[in-house]
Chains A and B, each alone.
Chain A
């Protein structure tokens, strides 16, 4: 199970890094999205991959950390998803504005051979 999750994160992150190093703005934005998926999965598994454990602790006695799933990474991931979503939308607007103002979709705002 761990190896599958790790490979998934690696593929997402690797593709994301490759894409944000590309010269076209659309590739960059897709790369950033992929990266953020990879990072979100990464946060998620930092609470450890564990099946059959509830994210609740019964009151009365001290909780045994081995027997319950940690709910906090899920809260962190949710926050990270919302923030990444909002900033990606913002970046998309800037990308369109840059395309309109400079007439090219190159990240530097001009074609390299000009």
Chain B
């Protein structure tokens, strides 16, 4: 049994990868079979991720040497608390988005399920890897799948937004490569733990080149995280992609932040650049606030709330350093769940505007989807009192994103700010950050409140949308996870504190990785 448990770490990568490969060879018309394989794979991923989290909550860091090559030479996967948590978050989001897509989106274009699984594999791999070049490979895997998913459903706006998205991310990937090769040229290793050991011993004249490499790498991560001024692609792409894809993309921008945190704390032990991240995060917050207030379209508001959450995380980590990792992670988890729920809701709500569901009409032609796609929509369990249910869910998501009391968004923001303002280290930056975070909450309340009033209270001649039970269930599920996080905030924070402590100082991580057989 312990033999089997050893291989648990690689399951979150292998399961979606194999499922995706299998899904590629299943014929397109066999929707039911494809859907069941996909759901089974995500459920297995969820179980594996849950076990991983349970196992990671121990003093030892679990390390898996691929091909049984020892650490500095071979490539390792490392499942510490942070990585395990991110994989679990991926699995939860993946399940919600997939169930939502089963209602109709998975038939709006070819190979939805395969792309979805490859994206999950890339995400799990990026979180679990302990090697910089492998991080690049998994980044590319998840990006390649995300290009396909962003295009899912086709149509001119999607293709236009995706074109920008792909070009910008390809350019960022090249920067990633430049950064990685500079680090390799200077330190002679790409294993994160080994890098952390070797960097302090580096000769002084090599340090400047090394820092150039680190900065290039950081720019690549920050493009993914959507930091201003590198994140202009984010609102357009997320607004135009289909709802399940956008919900899963919520964690995509968090991959950039995860990679930044991992490399910055483990490899560089909080090296230089904290101010830049802090200022960049604050600028992102301002950009997000302005963008949110200026948006009418609900999808754009949701995208800008994602920009705000990236900005909050970057600014908080930049200002607070290692001390704020635990509350920042709590915020990361809750804001991701809240934004994903909002993205799913947006599609349901916007449906009331155009009852004909114009989205499928274009793609049904383009991809020869069966003509019965449209009538199919009406089959299935419809939920009663649609507008009331949607309104409640919308209010819940708005409260969560704005960070108002009963929900974990508030707990997260409160604990972050409590840490940042902890007396000994109160700087001017901390006060600016506090003001901006509160402003962002206000902006979210105004923007979402305005949209909510227009949709749910004003009589604009909308017909109540038809919403199937299977579409509202994932939204309810994400909200239930938020509620559970409110009730069990104590144990969750304990776990996250342990995760933060393991990151800085990273002695335990480095020791376990380099000691691994």
Question: Would you list which residues of chain A between 79 and 100 have a CB under 8 Å from chain B?
Answer: 79-80, 83-84, 86-88, 90-91, 94-95, 97-98
Question: Would you list which residues of chain B between 123 and 167 have a CB under 8 Å from chain A?
Answer: 133, 137, 140, 143-144, 147-148, 151, 154-156, 159-160, 162-164, 166-167
Bound-state CA distance A86–B156 (Å) is 23
Interface bits A60-76 vs B (CB < 8 Å: 1, else 0): 00000000000011001
Tell me if B439 is interfacial: C-beta within 8 Å of chain A.
no
Tell me if A23 is interfacial: C-beta within 8 Å of chain B.
no
Is the Cβ of A91 less than 8 Å from the Cβ of B167? yes
Interface range, A side: 20 to 34
Interface residue count on the B side (C-beta < 8 Å): 29
Tell me if B181 is interfacial: C-beta within 8 Å of chain A.
yes
Selected from A32, A46, A101, the residue in CB contact (under 8 A) with B170 is: A32
**A96 — nearest CB in chain B belongs to which residue?**
B159
Q: Which of B171-179, B250-258, B381-389 contacts A (4 or more CB under 8 A)?
A: B171-179
Is the Cβ of B182 less than 8 Å from the Cβ of A87? no
Is the Cβ of B178 less than 8 Å from the Cβ of A39? yes
Tell me if B456 is interfacial: C-beta within 8 Å of chain A.
no
Contacts of B174 in A (CB 8 A): 32, 35-36, 39
Bound-state CA distance A80–B164 (Å) is 21
Tell me if B185 is interfacial: C-beta within 8 Å of chain A.
yes
Interface bits A6-36 vs B (CB < 8 Å: 1, else 0): 0000000000000010000100100010011
Is the Cβ of A94 less than 8 Å from the Cβ of B162? yes
Tell me if B232 is interfacial: C-beta within 8 Å of chain A.
no
Is the Cβ of A43 less than 8 Å from the Cβ of B181? yes
**A33 — nearest CB in chain B belongs to which residue?**
B170
Tell me the smallest distance from the CB of B329 to a CB of chain A, in Å. Answer: 30
Selected from A32, A48, A88, A102, the residue in CB contact (under 8 A) with B160 is: A102
Tell me the smallest distance from the CB of B69 to a CB of chain A, in Å. Answer: 13
Contacts of B133 in A (CB 8 A): 76, 79
7 interchain pairs, CB-CB under 8 A: A20-B167, A72-B184, A76-B181, A91-B166, A91-B170, A95-B163, A101-B154
- Partner-B contacts on A (CB < 8 A): 20, 25, 28, 32, 35-36, 39, 42-43, 46-48, 72-73, 76, 79-80, 83-84, 86-88, 90-91, 94-95, 97-98, 101-102, 107-109
- 5 other contacts beyond A87-B140, A98-B159, A101-B159, with CB at 8 A cut-off? A32-B174, A42-B178, A87-B170, A97-B154, A101-B160
